[in-house]
């Protein structure tokens, strides 16, 4: 016998948001040789707790600057990259929010912003709702198992701008630490192709487009 249930207003809003995200999703087919995804591996409890704490960091996305020179450098960075990104993100407000988020989360994870933008370009082509053939989601193509391991278990949240980029930066930082600073091997782990050159080489090539002198 079937039954029915009613959702609270908050639950209805959440369901509508998830459906809207899935309706707008596009299957992302990476260039030949780049189609892979992070591989689920056992995590020590201390590592899992540290990654979870990094993901759940609650401070608002508000860049802080130690000096006026640092602020000016950030403003110059945004001014230089905004035109380069305009073809992919025509809406100015969306573009600025995206760049601010990349800058903030990259810095928080100790990563170069151009590297993170290179990863995003190769992973999703800057498509917010991209889904790969293996189920990786969003800008940085996060595998849903990460939401279970270090998030709240809801993979739909991986389409959220800051959540997706935060997961991606934290995971890449984790792999970089695992590989003792070897970026080539860390990128291979991120793609699930450790030791093969095609993915790191593609990211390094993309990264050059996003450097600001």
- The backbone torsions φ and ψ at residue 121, rounded to the nearest 5 degrees and listed phi first, read -60, -45
Q: Is the pLDDT of residue 179 over 60?
A: yes
Lowest mean pLDDT among 7-11, 55-59, 84-88, 186-190: 7-11
20 belongs to a structural domain:
no
Residue 142's pLDDT is: 96
Identify whether 166 is part of a domain: yes
**Which of the two residues, 70 and 9, has the higher pLDDT score?**
70
Structure confidence by residue, pLDDT tens digits, 95-130? 999 999 999 999 999 999 999 999 999 999 999 999
Q: Residue 31: which pLDDT band, with cuts at 50, 70 and 90?
A: low
pLDDT 10s digits, 129-141: 999 988 999 999 9
Place of tokens 């370009």: 121
Q: Name the pLDDT band for 2 (thresholds 50, 70, 90).
A: very low
Q: pLDDT-based confidence at 36, cuts 50/70/90?
A: low
For 165, residues 6+ apart whose C-beta sits below 8 A from its C-beta are: 101, 102, 105, 116, 120, 139, 140
Q: Find, among 83, 82, 80, the residue nearest to 72 by Cα.
A: 80
pTM greater than 0.85 (yes/no): no
CATH of the domain at 93: 1.10.530.10
Range(s) of the domain holding residue 97: 62-208
Residue 119 lies in a domain: yes
Provide the percentage of residues in the chain whose pLDDT is more than 70: 83
Predicted local distance difference test score (pLDDT) of residue 121: 97
Is 24 within a domain? no
Residue 53 falls within a domain, yes or no?
A: no
Give the model's pLDDT for residue 151: 93
Q: How many domains does the structure of the chain reveal?
A: 1
Residue 4 lies in a domain: no
Residue scoring higher pLDDT (151 or 5): 151
3-state secondary structure string across 120-160: HHHHHCCCCCEEECCCCECCCCECCHHHHHHCCCCHHHHHC
Q: Is residue 213 domain-resident?
A: no
Q: What per-residue confidence (pLDDT) applies to 16?
A: 52
Tokens representing 73 are 């450098």
Q: What is the pLDDT of residue 105?
A: 96
Q: Above 50 in pLDDT, residue 18?
A: no
On whether residue 109 sits in a domain, the answer given is yes
| Average pLDDT for 175-194 | 95
With bands split at pLDDT 50, 70 and 90, how would you rate the model's confidence at 33? low
**What is the per-residue pLDDT for 186?**
97
Average pLDDT, the chain: 86
15-19, 58-62, 102-106, 126-130: range with lowest mean pLDDT: 15-19
């Amino acid at each position: 016998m079937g039954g029915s249930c009613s959702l609270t207003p908050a639950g209805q809003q959440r369901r509508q948001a998830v459906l809207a995200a899935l309706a707008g999703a596009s299957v992302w087919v990476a260039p030949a040789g780049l189609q892979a995804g992070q591989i689920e591996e056992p995590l020590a409890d201390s590592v899992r707790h540290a990654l979870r704490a990094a993901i759940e960091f609650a401070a608002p996305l508000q860049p802080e600057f130690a000096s006026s020179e640092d602020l000016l450098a950030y403003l110059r960075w945004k001014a230089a990259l905004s035109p380069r990104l305009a073809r992919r993100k025509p809406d100015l407000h969306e573009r600025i929010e995206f760049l601010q988020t990349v800058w903030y989360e990259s810095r928080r994870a100790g990563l170069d912003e151009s590297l993170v933008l290179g990863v995003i370009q190769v992973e999703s082509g800057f498509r917010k709702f991209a889904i790969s053939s293996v189920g990786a989601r969003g800008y940085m193509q996060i595998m849903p198992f990460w939401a279970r391991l270090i998030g709240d278990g809801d993979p739909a949240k991986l389409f959220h701008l800051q959540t997706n980029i935060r997961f991606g930066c934290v995971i890449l930082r984790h792999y970089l630490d695992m590989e003792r600073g070897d970026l080539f091997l860390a990128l291979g782990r991120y793609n699930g192709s450790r030791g093969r050159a095609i993915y790191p080489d593609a990211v390094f090539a993309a990264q050059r487009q996003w450097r600001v002198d």
